[in-house]
Amino acid sequence: MAIKCMSQAEVIASRFETIGCGVYQVARTLLCCASKEVTMDAQEKLPKSETVRLRKRHVGQSCKLFYRADPLKIVRAVGQYMYDEKGGQYLDCINNVAHVGHCQPDVVKAACDQLAVLNTNNRFLHDNLVICARKLTSLMPAPLSICFFVNSGSEANDLALRLARSHTKNHDIITLDHAYHGHLTSLISISPYKFNLPGGSGKAEWVHVASCPDVYRGKYRAVDYPGQDMGKMYADEVLDICKKARGGGHTIAAFIAESLQSCGGQIIPPDNYLRNVYRYVREAGGVCIADEVQVGFGRVGKHWWAFQLQGEDIVPDIVTVGKPMGNGHPVAAVITTLEIAQSFKESGIEYFNTYGGNPVSCAVAIAVMDVLERQRLREHATRVGNHLLNSLRQLALKHLIIGDVRGVGLFIGIELVEDRENRIPATAKAQHIVSRMKEEYILVSSDGPDRNVLKLKPPLVFCQENADHFVKILDEVLTEMNDDEVTMEAGSPQRQKKANHPEFENSPNEKKIKIDDQQSEKIIKV
Ligand SMILES: Cc1ncc(COP(=O)(O)O)c(C=O)c1O
């Protein structure tokens, strides 16, 4: 089978300075016109069945695979669309890594051009490294002026812990419940999302877990404390942790948190949360690390960094960035203050990272930041994100299962509940929706401790037309589920249709549901 190659037409279209579906529509039309002129062999090297067989045979089965029961084979992608081996086009609402759009031509060109000239380690002088560092630090609040380049979000967070410990000479870390900070041993230890799993290692004594500041279904709910300073209420728990740690002979090296918790279920912390937490942690002798690996680089629209949503005065001591920084190419960084970098130097241990800051990775990161600015993608994220949030809030008036719609820019969560009063998570239904949306060629995932939050973090080129399409299909799927429920209550054979989805297999009072793609299961009462 032959598929169309990315043509000149697409490159031209993507260079339009305005972003919108129109541009990609033009791109796709031109692409079709050019399809006779540019074709290439299928990028599929094996039939799908063989890809599945070889993956099972040779790839660790703990590696996550989306839609494990019927996985997708993606062979190419453009902008906010991914294509399977049969040419099926999927709207990508998941990939925050392809930040400025899949295969963005300027980014691709920057990588190819540099790869053809030189790629080596950063023990030699190279302009890309310093230009990238200058650009990245220019986007941060002033004290954050020093960069360390690494290859992944995990490496960035691991280095952030080392910096914090060498600067404070303390050891303990405060983390948030449900947090995920990476796959290295040091980070699994501070990721309750992982260490609390049945097979996890549990909490180490040097780790202190504070409640996730979730005002919808967390420890303190806004509905129960009207008009109260929820940010302070949640922050006071961190103060308690600092006091107890000191009482127990522990010293705090750092507080680490995503500025908006993504794995925790697309959580927006209440006002005053970071302001108070940062003060308490610093008073306890620790430093504050903002993990912007998922939410950085303008996803929130108004600002470059999500911590800035909490106020201009909120300045972390260390910021970690990754995923969107390379638009799919592995590049990440730690940005910190001169004082912290100096303490690390004084430890006498040189820092060397073979690939960190190589000329190709830096060329890619520079191109990503340029595209973000030139195409005004932050403004675009605000515009489209607000439109999508408004439409979803309208949809919530129609479908009671939508308990909460929250978000900022193109970081959006739709929390699904069995009833709005008790806010029981609609876990099984969320999984069903994810499967049905895939059948409708929309890729969306669910997350949060109960996997009941639909999370949207699409490439920033996601446009208003995409948002409208998403809402329309979600509406149809929810309506169909309502219809099924009504018919089921009437005892109709329609029940069969629902039972086709694995998550609806059990009952009558309990359901065994698949809670993630790794086939983990959970029993929930219904
Ligand atoms: C918030 C956060 N921090 C760090 C990481 C680790 O990044 P990486 O997978 O690039 O090592 C992730 C990955 O999902 C993440 O979501």
List the end-to-end C-alpha distance of the chain, in Å, as a whole number: 47
How does 308-344 read in b/e, with b if 16+ C-beta sit within 10 Å? Answer: bbbeeebbbbbbbbbbbbbbbbbbbbbbbbeebbebb
Quote the DSSP letter at residue 108: H
Give yes or no for residue 153 CB within 6 A of ligand 1: yes
pLDDT of residue 131: 98
SS3 471: helix
**Amino acid at the residue 108:** V
User: How confident is the model over 233-261, as a mean pLDDT?
Assistant: 96
Q: What is the pLDDT of residues 89-101, one digit of tens each?
A: 999 999 999 999 9
Per-residue pLDDT at 425 exceeds 60: yes
Q: Residue 353: which of 331, 335, 326 has the closest Cα?
A: 331
**Amino acid at the residue 222:** A
pLDDT of residue 509: 35
User: How confident is the model over 284-309, as a mean pLDDT?
Assistant: 98
| pLDDT-derived band at 490, boundaries 50, 70, 90 | low
Q: What is the pLDDT of residues 198-208, one digit of tens each?
A: 899 899 999 99
What's the rounded Cα separation, in Å, for the pair 360 and 341? 24
Q: Assign domain 79-100+377-525 one CATH number from 1.10.8.60, 1.20.1050.10, 3.90.1150.10, 3.40.50.2300.
A: 3.90.1150.10
**Amino acid at the residue 372:** L
Write down the architecture of domain 108-374 according to CATH.
3-Layer(aba) Sandwich (3.40)
pLDDT of residue 519: 36
Concatenated DSSP letters of 477-498: HHHHHHHHHHHHHTT-TTHHHH
Burial class (CB in 10 A: 0-12, 13-18, 19+), 206: middle
Encoded tokens for 70: 């019927």
Q: What is the pLDDT of residues 110-138, one digit of tens each?
A: 999 999 999 999 999 999 999 999 999 99
Give yes or no for residue 152 CB within 6 A of ligand 1: yes
pLDDT of residue 484: 78
Strands (E) across 85-156 are located at: 89-92, 146-150
Per-residue pLDDT at 371 exceeds 50: yes
What's the rounded Cα separation, in Å, for the pair 383 and 387? 6
Per-residue pLDDT at 399 exceeds 70: yes
Q: Are strands 442-443 and 89-92 parallel, antiparallel or unpaired?
A: parallel
Q: What is the pLDDT of residues 373-398, one digit of tens each?
A: 999 999 999 999 999 999 999 999 99
User: How confident is the model over 397-413, as a mean pLDDT?
Assistant: 98
Q: From ligand 1's centre to the CA of 181, what distance in Å?
A: 5
Quote the DSSP letter at residue 5: P
pLDDT of residue 44: 87
- What length is written for the chain? 526
3-state secondary structure 39-63: EEECCCCCCHHHHHHHHHHHCCCCC
SS3 25: helix
What's the rounded Cα separation, in Å, for the pair 390 and 462? 16
**Amino acid at the residue 260:** L
Q: Are 267 and 277 in contact (CB under 8 A)?
A: no
Give yes or no for residue 322 CB within 6 A of ligand 1: yes
Question: Which residue has the least CA distance to atom 7 on ligand 1?
Answer: 153
Residues of the chain with CATH 3.90.1150.10: 79-100+377-525
Sign of CA dihedral 63, 65, 71, 73: negative
Q: Are 345 and 148 in contact (CB under 8 A)?
A: no
Question: Which residue has the least CA distance to atom 2 on ligand 1?
Answer: 181
Q: What is the pLDDT of residues 29-49, one digit of tens each?
A: 344 333 333 333 447 899 999
Q: Percent of the chain scored above 90 by pLDDT?
A: 82
Q: Which helix (H) or strand (E) holds 389?
A: helix 377-398
Encoded tokens for 507: 């009952």
Q: From ligand 1's centre to the CA of 368, what distance in Å?
A: 19
Per-residue pLDDT at 310 exceeds 80: yes
Residues of the chain with CATH 3.40.640.10: 108-374
Per-residue pLDDT at 442 exceeds 90: yes
pTM of the model: 0.88
Mutate to test the pocket of ligand 1, among 293, 299, 320, 447 (most ligand atoms within 8 A of CB): 293
Quote the DSSP letter at residue 6: P
Give yes or no for residue 81 CB within 6 A of ligand 1: no
Residues ≥6 apart with Cβ < 8 Å to 351: 148, 159, 344
